[in-house]
Structure formats: C-alpha cells, structure tokens
Chains A and B, each alone.
Chain A
Amino acid sequence: MTASLAIETAPIPIRAGVGHWLSSYVMMTRWELTSLRMLLPLIVALQVVIGGGFALGIGLFFDQMPVRNALYLSTGVTVVTLITVGLVLGPQLVANHKTAGTYDFMWSLPVPRTTQAGAWVTVNSVIALPGMVAALLIADLRYDLPLRITLSIVPAVLLTIVAATMIGYAFAHAIRKPMITQLITTLVIFVILGFAPINFPPDNLPRWLADLNLYLPFYHMAVVMRDGLTEGLVTEVGISYLVLGVYTVASVVVAAWVIGRRD
C-alpha cells in the first residue's frame, strides 16, 4: 500500500514531443536489432542465397534465356529480396510473439507505439538492402544485363520496402490468430513467386490474372524498380507510384488503428 501511495503523491512525468519520440525510436531500433542478433547474419545470408539462387536457378529452365526474360528476372529478384522480409518474415515474427505470449509485453514498453513501427521499417531496410544488391550483382554477372540505373531507384527502393513492410505489419497486428497469419504469409510467397508478374512480364499471365495484379501491390513494386534499373522496359510508372502510395497509406491507417486501441 505504501508503494501505491507514493506513486499517487508523486505522479510519473509523461514525456512527449519530438525529442522523446526520436530517442524512443533509436531505442526500439536497437531493441529490434538486438532481439534478432543471432538471426540477423543468417537472415541476410539467406536473402543473398535466395535472391542469387532465383537469378541463377530460373536461368536453368531456359535452353538459352532471352535478354528480355533475363532482364525481367533479375529486376524481379531485387523486388523479391526487398519484400519477403516485410511481408513474410515480419508477420511470422509477430505471430510467434502472439503464440509465445510475449506480444502484450512488447506493447507495455514505455515508448510511443509508432516508434516500434518505425524501428521495424528501419530494421527491414537493413536486412533487405544487402540481399537486393547481391542478387542484382549475381544476375548481372551471369547474364551481362543492359542495366541503366538512375536516381529514381532511390524512391523506388524506399517505397517498395515501406509499402511491403507496412502491409505485412498491418495484417500481422490486425489478425488475432497466429495460424491465419502463417497461412497468409505462405500464400503471399506463392503469389510473389508464381502468380504476380514480378520475375516475368505480365503478358506471360492469363489476361484475367494480369488484370487482377493491377489491383495488388506486387506488380507495381516491380514496375517502379524496373523503372529505376532499366530503360524502356516499363511505362506508366506514375500510376504504380500512386497505387503503392495508396497501399502504404492504407496500411499505416490500419496499423495505427490496431496498435492504437487498448483491449
């Protein structure tokens, strides 16, 4: 009783403001990096292996891979490496927290909840970028690609990472059952690798499936990345930026709503 009395008489100052947010953000980024410390090198290595593996492995399907296919494939694997962490690994980690019962603990930390989202996006970028660069280098060595890298690669990479991370973040937190999250991530891998025009041009898909992909984010991620890496491969990039922007904002809204409520 004396302890609670003491608390009542001397209220804890509630800190707020930009300075507090920034220092919390730095702390949460360190928190996330530290909690992954064992896995981090492994995840980065796996990213490189998966990205490079796709670039090389799909080439074996062709007797002689046409340059256009090689260009689509190599730019596609950069997208795959950028988005798998945010869309697949991230939600799975959240699901694991929910299964293990450590989920509520995360929210009890004395930091603004938005800093956790910010920290996670940052950590994702740290993980995803080496894989992307390595995949592109491996593909270029193997196929000798006519790449033309322009400055628009910077917004393309950033928007792709943020969109993918926030979509994954939103559904991972919004869905209560870890099993459903696992199921969705499995489905997402399948769609990314086989049913979205990321690693191959959209005209390889049946018409209806190509049309459906216009409403999903994956194709548009590939368009903005190709725009930054090649010349003449994609058109109407503005629309893709717009669609990705809408997806990002919508995910942020959903995430904000989910992490803002108190059950």
Chain B
Amino acid sequence: MTADVRPRAFGGATIVQTGPRRWLRSYRMMMRFDVRGLGQWLMIGIAVQVLMGAGMAVMYGFYLGGDVPDVVKVFIATGVPALGLIPMGLVMVPQMVGQQRIAQTYDFIWSLPVPRLAAAASTFTVFTLMAIPGFATALGVGVWYYGIALQVSWMVVPAVLLTSLMCSSVGFGMAHAVKSPMVINFIANMIVFFVLLFSPIIVPVAQFPDWLASVHKALPFYHMAQVIRDGLSNGFVTEVGTSYVVLGAWTVGGWLATAWVVGRRG
C-alpha cells in the first residue's frame, strides 16, 4: 500500500506549485470565477445597492419631518452611505455561501486547485468593489436632497475600503462558521433590522441610552459610521483612531473565523 496514489499527469509526479506568483495568478483566476459565477446577480446586486442607498438617503428625512437642523442633515447624509455598505458584506456574502451549500457547490469550490486563501481574498475583493457604486449614489443623493456641503477628504478612501472589507470578512466568517443556510439567512436579516433601527449610524450616539451606546462601542457599526463621517465632514468625529482599530479587529476576527473553517478539511 505504499504505491503512489497521486494523479500521474505529465508522466510522473504532480507539480505542486507554490510561491507568490502562483498565489497572485490564483487570486486573479478566482476573481474571474467569482464575477462570472455571480453572473446576473452582480448587476442585480449593484442595482439593489444603488436603489437602496438612494432610497434610504431620502427615507430617513421623511421620518424626521420638515424642519431638520443642519447637523442632523449632515449626520443622515454621511450615515446613509455607511449604512449602504452593510448589506453587501453582511447579507449578500452569507447568502451566497448559503446558496452554495443548498446547491451543493460549496465543497466543489474548496476543491479547486488554488490556495484557499486566494479564493477567500477574491471574494473579499469582489464584494468590496461591488459596494462602491451604492455608496457613491447614497452620498450623492443625500448631498443633493438635503442641500448641504460636505468636506470630503482623502481619508474617505481607507474608511470605505476598510468598512467594506470588514463587512465582507465578518459575513464570510459567519457564513462559513454557521452550517445551516436557514440560520444564516435569519442572522443576516436580524443584523439588517438591528442596524437600520438601533445603530448610531445616522444619528449621534448621544441620543442612545447609555447601555446601548456601550454595546455599540464594541460592535463595528458605530465605528464604521465614525470613520466614514470623518472622511466626509469636519468637526463631527473625534477619536477616529480607536474606530479604525476596532474595525481592524473585527476584520481580522472575520479572517480568523474563515481561516479556521476553510483551513480544516471536512
């Protein structure tokens, strides 16, 4: 039983490729695979994000009513784009993985001859980029609808990228750690519900009861709003460094969960 059971391609030993070049090539191939695999969902996903972003930008104004102070307007206009980044990573990513489990293509994807990390990194990249059009639309509509001037700085770039990456990483980690697609769907919907109604994203955290405010110091949502608002306005945000650290920690947490799950062999 010591016979070599490896496939005998190339008339002998299989060449196990390694190294950064092979990783980059796999990463690029997996991105093509992901984009093609999403197919029409890519466009639908972007369209839904764009519509939701634009819709939410004006919707919160309807709830607040006629004479809204400028401060509140700035909070909504800078909060809604942050809010719009959440569904892509925390809802679409887990649902995609859930679909793969239902369609039983989940194991197939891990069987592809690429480093598993390259496959995960590709998903993060695709979904991070997919969230950008919705973000831009929500921001544009908010600025137009509330007639306010924002001070956009280059800090918005790392803020958006980190936020979006954090969402896809946590969503990905969660989707891999939880086996049942039903449960994933339920969690994703609960997150949206919680985020839309009970998160200090479009309103100042000072309006929240103390206990809920402290909960949000540990959760990522408040910090997402902080870093993005910091990139879009002046003088509304302090201690933005802490927020970057918290977001970074959640991102790494998502990666660790993913690494732990995809690293083991079923």
Interface on A for B, CB 8 Å cutoff?
Answer: 49-50, 53-54, 56-58, 60-63, 69, 190, 193-195, 199-201, 203-205
Contact = CB atoms under 8 A, between A and B. Distances in A.
B64 A62 contact: yes
Contacts of B56: 194
A89 to B, nearest CB: 13
Most buried by A among B63, B64, B193, B202: B63
Given A60-B198, A60-B203, A63-B207, A193 B59 contact: yes
A60 B197 contact: yes
B59 A195 contact: yes
A60 B193 CA distance: 14
Contact of A50 (B63, B64, B66, B193): B193
A205 B62 contact: yes
Contacts of B202: 61
A56 B194 CA distance: 11
Contact of A53 (B64, B197, B207): B197
B248 interface: no
Q: How large is the interface on B (under 10, 10 to 19, 20 to 34, 35 or more residues)?
A: 20 to 34
Given A50-B193, A53-B193, A61-B203, A194 B198 contact: no
Contacts of A62: 64, 207
- Chain A to chain B: the 9 pairs with minimum beta-carbon distance, closest first: A57-B197, A194-B59, A204-B65, A204-B62, A57-B198, A61-B203, A200-B63, A53-B197, A63-B207
B208 interface: yes
Nearest to B189: A46
Nearest to A58: B63
Contacts of B63: 58, 61, 199-200, 204
A155 B208 CA distance: 38
Interface in B12-50: none
Contacts of A203: 66
B140 interface: no
Interface string B50-70: 001001101111111110000
10 contacts: A53-B197, A57-B197, A58-B63, A61-B202, A63-B207, A194-B55, A194-B62, A195-B62, A200-B63, A204-B64
A201 B66 CA distance: 10
Contacts of A53: 193, 197-198
A213 to B, nearest CB: 11
Nearest to B202: A61
